[in-house]
Structure 1
Amino acid sequence: MLQAIGLTSAPRRDNPPVVDDLTFEAPPGRVTALLGAPGSGKSTALRLMLELQAGRGVTYFRGRPLHRIGHPAREVGVLLGDVPGHPVRTARGQLRMLCAAAGVPASRADELLEVVGLAGLGDQRIGTLSAGMDRRLGLASALLGDPHTLVLDEPSKGLSPRERSWLHGLLRAHAAEGGTVLHTTSDPKEAARAADRVVTIDDGRLVADQDVADFSRTRLRPRVAVRTPHAARLAAAMSREARASRRSVEVVAEGGSRLSVYGSSCAEVGDAAYRHGVPVHQLADETGDAGPVAVPGQGRPGGAPRIVPPGPASAVAISELPPPIPVRPARGPLRPLRYELRRLFGVRTTVMIMAAALVVSAGLSVVLARSGKAPLSDLLVAWPPLLPLPPAAFAAGLLGALSFGDEFRYPALAAGRGTVPRRLGLLTAKLAVSAGTALLLALLAVLGNAEVLRLAYGGDLVSVPVNAPRMAASWAGLSIGCAWAGLLAAGVFRLTGAGVAAVLAVPVLVVPLVQKLLAGPSARSIAGLPGRLRELAWLQWPYEADRWVMAAVRVVAQPVGLALTLSLSALICAYVFTGLRGKARW
């Protein structure tokens, strides 16, 4: 049972609310259509139900509001707009990623592709799908968690008549198993064909809440569609006969050679055309919209009519001031690490960036080695003085920025529930995966550059340096720091470009400032720091570890290491602050 009570959107400036005091029910086991013309507030009503838009009112899904449901994807399946996925991701990859978010087995993706008729198109990319295939994939995304309630916004948009018939059959099958189905439409004929109950709204207010039989009787009028080259002649003849026999027959010219005859039948129209010698090219029974049936009512500005027949929705008691609807973040993925891996490697962008970074890195190392002036550390990581960062470190930062940036551009978590949430589990998974990717890229860059240098100039150029552990730690720290800087900045500012800017800001802006601070002579030394740390620590580590502690301190004390540490600290504080501010709003 879906119960929407007192839904009212927040008005903008002096304009009236898009949805105003909307109350209705969608019972289980039945298909409910939310009918209204474009701009009547249907989509806004759905967003209020799903707590995606601020306003007032409450919506209960089997007695609980959405934010009180532990696993929303298993209770409510949502389709708002197009499929929210990266256009180069495959249909199967998109569903498998959402399976990890919903906490269901990955095999569920193939089952749903079979159900929606996309079994042979699982490896096709989302950007190449037709409108009908896109809607099928969106419906599969809504059904992933086997939800009890389906909330669909214009699910038949862009579908052919055959696909619409298939969709209506699928929705009725879901309702027949005891599920609740609520979908919006602007076509009265579709509502009459596909729904068991029709809720009609206009200007954000309830107009009628009826069973489909009552809706067809009171809101729709049967008519006979006629197409003839002598439309005006046939219309005049039928009007004269209707007046002579005192019958209530209305003939409306639809333009060109088409007529709509109300209050008659195909047999009567055909007989009249035969009597008057008028050829008929088309003669069919149709059902057309008669517009709202006006009866006196209350609650509309200026005394406009309103229809609210007795029913369950009108029996719900509404308080004078419905509770507010704050915008609540969606739940994070139930399997964040699996989700993040599928998100990262489900598109070819990741592999292309890594391959491009390795190729550029190898080329730069060969060019640097020709001069004979670059130190071995710069050769192995391909870091010429003209570049702010080595190619591999910049690529790690770019992949980190895409980790959040792509999701805010193509929302993937809990499809249709708004922007990507920033939960601790998801953040931890992203930090771990981005760090692992950065380490892999750093290792491949060093090994690849060393092999290229051996091939180009011989084995004497590349040798294992004495301070190899310290160099490796610095290189790993730089790569991971760039990846995390891009990730956190994209998460704070919700933009990939902001993450890339944060990565470049470290060597371009922060490092020069740190170098100026460290340029002066130092009267103090950090010698003896491990011993002082041992005195403060509860656990006593072995004295052999002092050497590693000092090595870590020296790495951090370098200008680049210190700049990265300061930048990451600032980004973490900004991330926590924005997260707490978002929670404080609700």
Structure 2
Amino acid sequence: MLQAIGLTSLPRRDRPAAVDDLTFEARPGAVTALLGPRGSGKTTTLRLMLELEPGRGITYFRGRPLHRIAHPQSEVGVLLGDVPGHPSRTLRGQLRMLCAATGVPASRADELARTVGLAGLERRRIGTLPVGADRRLGIASALLGAPHTLLLDQPGAGLSTSEGAWLHELLRSHASEGGTVLYTTDDPKDAARNAHRVVTLDRGRLVADQDAVEFARTRLRPRVAVRTPQAARLAAVVTQEARAARRPVEVVAEEGNRLSVYGSDCASVGDTAFRHGVPIHRLTAETGDTGPLRRTAGTTAPEVPGASPAPARVSVASPWAGSPPAVADRSARRLSAGRAPRGASGTRRPVRSPLRPLRYELHRLLGVPSTPLVVGGVLLVSVTLALLLGRGGRVALPAVLTGWPGISPLPPAALGAGLLGAFSFGEEYRHPALTTGRGAVPRRPGLLLAKLAVSALVALLLGVLVVVADLEALRLVHGTELIPVPENWPALGASWLGLLVGCAWAGLLGAGVFRAAAAGVAAVLAVPVALVPLLQKVLTGPTVRSAAGLPARLREFAGPQWSPGAERWLAGALRVLGQPAGVALSLTLTALFCAYVFTGLRRKARW
């Protein structure tokens, strides 16, 4: 049972609330349609139910609010708007990444692809999928965790008739197995044909909560749809003849040059147009909605009991403006059942962090073409620079092997590692997959540690690949005898790998704090461009003490004697950290990490 009680959104910019004191329920074993025109508050209602939007009220999913469900993916499957995901990611890669986030085996991705009719399209990229396949992917994403409840926002938008029939058959199948389905639509015929129950909204308020059979009997009626370039004239003559014949005919002006005629038939409307010389471009009989519609001047419409015109516009009010006493009493009882504050009142938001963060991050990294492109570009530029620097023999060997010319603030490998680190969080905000409806990216420790670990591993592999590729290219061009191995290669290697890992983490944290990959790249470049020159002046001042004797002082303080090898490694590490670049990078990482934690706590407090 899904129960929404007293849902109210916060008004914005002196406008009325999009959803105002809304209470309804969706029963298990049935498909419930949330019906209303554009702007009636359907999407905002779903976002309030999912605690993605601040407001009042509470929603119970089988007796529990969402923030008290340990694993929301196994309880609620959601599709809001477009299917989230990087357009360059393959369909299979997207589903497997979401499987890691949901905590289900990767084999379920192929299973659901077959279930929703996407077999054979697993290698297609999301950005190239047609509308029908895109919606099927969204349904598959919602079903990954085998949820009991499905919340879908306009799932049939843009689908053909056959695809829409398949979709609603799938929703009815889910409901027949005991599940709860709630979807939004602005088409009354769609709601009457495919739902078991219809909840009607108008301007964020509950208008009616009916069985689909009752809804179709009272809300829908036959009409004649007419398209003519002389719509006003045809409306006038049809109304005039109906009054003369004392027939209850209603003529409603639609968008453009369309008319809807209620209480008549195609033959009568066609004969009237022929007698008065009005050209007809379209004339057909269909089933129309008796909800709020605009009227043309001079039309006559039957009175609706209890109806009152909406303010600031001329319309035929919905027949549910005066709801039956049973509906009103039931709504009052639900509203008096109690309301719980939500959002800004202090309840915590549901945890949407991936259940398998390391597997999720690996799928995210390897599933987009930007990763191999960045790695390949870094190797190509590094090899080219290494050959150019080694040609004259005047550049130091470490600079040659890393492809680091003196005019560049950072070597290509460091820039590549920082860029990949920035993409780690930048893609989460640009193409959200973990959250529904572009909510905030979860700042759970597990996700952050997974991103730090994967970015560090990628930076280490990139550093080794660059040195090996540059070394082999130099040996191929200049020969092996001209490239001696330096004696202090361990310290040089540690400095090199530490620089790459630090740049990767700086890009990752910068993008996480400022929610953009460009901010992560800026954080990486700020270290050599701004901080290193400043620290060089500070650290070379006359009052700065040297750290050369720190290992000996630490050994005296600790008591036990250290081995000479451990002392050498400690001294080397301290020399690396004591360099201006090491100090600047350490300070940058510390500041970004503190800012990341602070912004995460601030966001939780705001919600």
| Cα distance change on mapping 1:219 and 1:553 into 2, 3 Å | same
Question: Which of the residues 417, 425, 428 maps onto 2:446?
Answer: 425
Q: Contact 2:70 / 2:351 at 8 angstroms: preserved in 1?
A: no
| Cα distance change on mapping 1:557 and 1:37 into 2, 3 Å | same
Q: Report the equivalent of 2:81.
A: 81
Task: Give matches, 1:113-152, under 5 Å.
Answer: 113-152=113-152
Q: Report the equivalent of 1:405.
A: 426
* CA shift for structure 1 position 13: 3.1
Greater mean deviation of Cα atoms: 57-66 or 334-343 = 57-66
Q: Contact 1:238 / 1:272 at 8 angstroms: preserved in 2?
A: no
Task: Give matches, 1:216-365, under 5 Å.
Answer: 216-223=216-223, 248=248, 262-263=262-263, 286-291=286-291, 296=306, 306-309=321-324, 310-311=326-327, 313-318=331-336, 322-326=340-344, 328=349, 330-365=351-386
Q: How many angstroms apart in 1 are the aligned matches of 2:460 and 2:265?
A: 77
Greater mean deviation of Cα atoms: 319-328 or 253-262 = 253-262
Q: Report the equivalent of 2:478.
A: 457
Question: Which of the residues 517, 520, 530 maps onto 2:541?
Answer: 520
* CA shift for structure 1 position 150: 0.6
Q: Report the equivalent of 1:489.
A: 510
Greater mean deviation of Cα atoms: 416-425 or 354-363 = 416-425
Q: Report the equivalent of 2:209.
A: 209
Q: Return the letter of the residue paired with 2:380.
A: V
Alpha-carbon displacement from aligned partner over 1:189-218 (angstroms, at most 9, x marks no partner): 111111111111111111111111221122
Q: How many angstroms apart in 1 are the aligned matches of 2:596 and 2:242?
A: 78
Q: How many angstroms apart in 2 are the aligned matches of 1:37 and 1:179?
A: 27
Q: How many angstroms apart in 1 are the aligned matches of 2:549 and 2:341?
A: 61
* CA shift for structure 1 position 360: 0.2
1:119 counterpart SS class: coil
Alpha-carbon displacement from aligned partner over 1:58-112 (angstroms, at most 9, x marks no partner): 1111111111111111111111111110010011110100000000111111111
2:538 counterpart SS class: helix
Task: Give matches, 1:146-185, under 5 Å.
Answer: 146-185=146-185
* CA shift for structure 1 position 241: 9.4
* CA shift for structure 1 position 532: 4.1
Q: Return the letter of the residue paired with 1:180.
A: T
Alpha-carbon displacement from aligned partner over 1:445-483 (angstroms, at most 9, x marks no partner): 000001111111111222211000000000000000000
How many pairs were matched up? 579
| Cα distance change on mapping 1:523 and 1:256 into 2, 3 Å | closer
Q: Report the equivalent of 1:477.
A: 498
| Cα distance change on mapping 1:239 and 1:251 into 2, 3 Å | farther
2:147 counterpart SS class: coil
Q: Return the letter of the residue paired with 1:52.
A: L
Q: Contact 1:221 / 1:290 at 8 angstroms: preserved in 2?
A: yes
Q: How many angstroms apart in 2 are the aligned matches of 1:137 and 1:428?
A: 29
Q: Contact 1:141 / 1:415 at 8 angstroms: preserved in 2?
A: no
Q: Return the letter of the residue paired with 2:443.
A: R
| Cα distance change on mapping 1:255 and 1:78 into 2, 3 Å | closer
| Cα distance change on mapping 1:258 and 1:329 into 2, 3 Å | closer
Question: Which of the residues 446, 449, 474 maps onto 2:467?
Answer: 446
| Cα distance change on mapping 1:102 and 1:540 into 2, 3 Å | farther
Percentage of identical aligned residues: 64
Q: How many angstroms apart in 1 are the aligned matches of 2:250 and 2:28?
A: 40
Q: Contact 1:73 / 1:414 at 8 angstroms: preserved in 2?
A: no
Q: How many angstroms apart in 1 are the aligned matches of 2:420 and 2:255?
A: 59
Q: Report the equivalent of 2:299.
A: none
Question: Which of the residues 561, 575, 578 maps onto 2:599?
Answer: 578
| Cα distance change on mapping 1:514 and 1:295 into 2, 3 Å | farther
Q: Report the equivalent of 2:295.
A: none
Q: Contact 1:132 / 1:158 at 8 angstroms: preserved in 2?
A: yes
| Cα distance change on mapping 1:532 and 1:579 into 2, 3 Å | farther
Q: Return the letter of the residue paired with 1:577.
A: F
Q: How many angstroms apart in 1 are the aligned matches of 2:92 and 2:214?
A: 43
1:489 counterpart SS class: helix
1:533 aligns with 2:554: yes
* CA shift for structure 1 position 562: 1.1
Q: Report the equivalent of 1:504.
A: 525
* CA shift for structure 1 position 525: 3.8
* CA shift for structure 1 position 580: 1.6
Greater mean deviation of Cα atoms: 286-295 or 542-551 = 286-295
Q: Return the letter of the residue paired with 2:547.
A: I
Alpha-carbon displacement from aligned partner over 1:135-174 (angstroms, at most 9, x marks no partner): 1111111111111111111111111111111111111111
Greater mean deviation of Cα atoms: 412-421 or 552-561 = 412-421
Q: Contact 2:238 / 2:269 at 8 angstroms: preserved in 1?
A: no
2:354 counterpart SS class: coil
Q: Report the equivalent of 1:28.
A: 28
Q: Contact 1:329 / 1:421 at 8 angstroms: preserved in 2?
A: no
Q: How many angstroms apart in 2 are the aligned matches of 1:34 and 1:49?
A: 13
Q: Report the equivalent of 1:382.
A: 403
Please list every run of 5 or more consecutive structure 2 residues that lacks an aligned counterpart in the other structure: 293-302
Q: Report the equivalent of 2:300.
A: none
* CA shift for structure 1 position 584: 2.1
Tell me the TM-score normalized by structure 2.
0.87
Q: Report the equivalent of 2:297.
A: none
Tell me the TM-score normalized by structure 1.
0.90
Q: Return the letter of the residue paired with 1:545.
A: A
Q: Report the equivalent of 1:368.
A: 389
| Cα distance change on mapping 1:204 and 1:226 into 2, 3 Å | closer
Q: How many angstroms apart in 2 are the aligned matches of 1:501 and 1:466?
A: 35
Q: Report the equivalent of 1:396.
A: 417
